[in-house]
């Protein structure tokens, strides 16, 4: 049992290595899911509405309210009402 006694202090290293490996895996997967932009550049965060220009209205310009559906008009009314009540 001589050689096994020499390796006994290394048994304390096994849990530390396991915790480090789990942390590295968690951080690596998190980076791939949340931070990876697929090599396209940018922040990796997509709001789903496309890029906004300097004026913040998007590429096609402002939208005519007559083009909105009833649900979109209702949502816009609610948003504007909340914005006015908080200022």
pLDDT of residue 35: 72
Determine the distance from the C-alpha atom of residue 78 to the mean position of all C-alpha atoms in its chain, rounded to a whole number. Answer: 27
Q: How many domains does one find in the chain?
A: 1
Is residue 74 domain-resident?
no
Is residue 5 domain-resident?
yes
Is residue 6 domain-resident?
yes
- Per the listing, tokens 């290394």 go with 10
Is residue 83 domain-resident?
no
- Per the listing, tokens 């509405």 go with 49
Is residue 25 domain-resident?
yes
pLDDT of residue 9: 80
Q: Encode the chain (87 residues) as per-residue pLDDT tens digits.
A: 567 787 888 888 999 999 999 999 999 998 888 876 555 555 555 555 555 555 554 556 677 888 889 999 999 899 999 999 987
Is residue 81 domain-resident?
no
CA 44 vs CA 31, 53, 63: distances in Å: 10, 18, 27
Q: How far apart are the first and last CA of the chain?
A: 78
pTM comes to 0.37
Euclidean distance between CA atoms 63 and 18, whole angstroms: 55
């Amino acid at each position: 049992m001589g050689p096994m006694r020499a390796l006994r202090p290394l048994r304390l290293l096994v849990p530390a290595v396991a915790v480090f490996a789990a942390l590295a895996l968690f951080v690596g997967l998190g980076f791939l899911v949340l931070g990876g932009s697929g090599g396209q550049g940018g922040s990796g965060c997509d709001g789903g509405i496309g890029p906004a220009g300097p004026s913040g209205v998007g590429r096609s310009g402002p939208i005519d309210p007559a083009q909105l559906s009833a649900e979109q008009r209702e949502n816009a009314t609610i948003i504007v009402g909340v914005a006015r009540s908080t200022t």
